[in-house]
Amino acid sequence: MDDYTKKFKMAKNARLISIITYISTVIPLMFFEDIGIFLSLGLLVIGFIIGREYRCPYCNHIFDLRVTSRKLNHCNSCGAKL
């Protein structure tokens, strides 16, 4: 049980990092004219990959990033208590 709790805490951190990465995709577009679009696309892909780690530790169901972790008490797929 403790291992699943650690995994869900890591998933909550991954959600936060993913959202920050999504927001920071605008910064290269403001400062770099030539390669800014490529840097922004790279950050977007990295944010998407990190966001896929926001999942249930029991059944690996991927949660929607719009659902806050405070409101998430049970998994929608398997019903496990998080």
DSSP notation for 3-67: HHHHHHHHHHHHHHHHHHHHHGGGHHHHH-SSSHHHHHHHHHHHHHHHHTT-B-TTT-PBPPTTS
Q: Any idea what DSSP says for residue 78?
A: T
Average pLDDT over residues 3-14: 84
Segment 28-66, tens digit of pLDDT = 888 888 888 899 999 999 988 888 888 888 888 888 777
pLDDT at 13: 87
pTM for the full predicted model:
0.75
Q: Is the pLDDT of residue 69 over 80?
A: no
